[in-house]
Chains A and B, each alone.
Chain A
Amino acid sequence: MSDVWIAGAGMTRFGKREETLQDLMAEAALAALRAASVEAPEAIVVAAMNPEEFVGEGNFATHFATHLGFAYVPALRVETATSSGAAALFTGFAAIAAGLRRSVLVVGGEKMTHLSTPRVSELISRSIDPHERSYGATMPALAGLVTRTLMAGHGVSLREISQVSVKNHAHGALNPFAHFQSRVTLEEVLESRVVADPLRLFHCCPISDGAAAVVLTAEGTGIRIAGIGQGADYLAVRYRDNLTSFRATQAAAEAAYRMAGFGPERVDVAEVHDAFAPFELIALEDLGLVPSGKAAPVTMSGETALDGRLPVNPSGGLKARGHALAATGLAQVAELVWQLTGSATGRQVEARVGLAHSIGGLATNNWVTLLERAA
Chain B
Amino acid sequence: MTTAPTGPPGTTPADEGVVQVQGLTKHFGAVAAVQDLSFTVRPGRVTGFLGPNGAGKTTTLRMLLGLVRPTSGTATVSGRAYGDLARPMSTVGAALEAASFHPGRSALDHLRTYAPSIGAPDSRCAEVLALVGLEGAARRRVGGFSLGMRQRLALATTLLGDPKVLLLDEPANGLDPEGIVWLRGLLRHLASQGRTVLVSSHMLSEVQQTVDDVIIIARGRLVHASPIAELASLAVPTVTVASPDEAGLDALVAANGWERTAEAGAPGTSVVTLRGTSAAAVGSAAFAAGLELHELASRSVGLEDVFLHLVQEPGTPGPTTTGGAP
Q: Do A and B bind each other?
A: no
The residues of A with any CB-CB pair to B shorter than 8 Å are: none
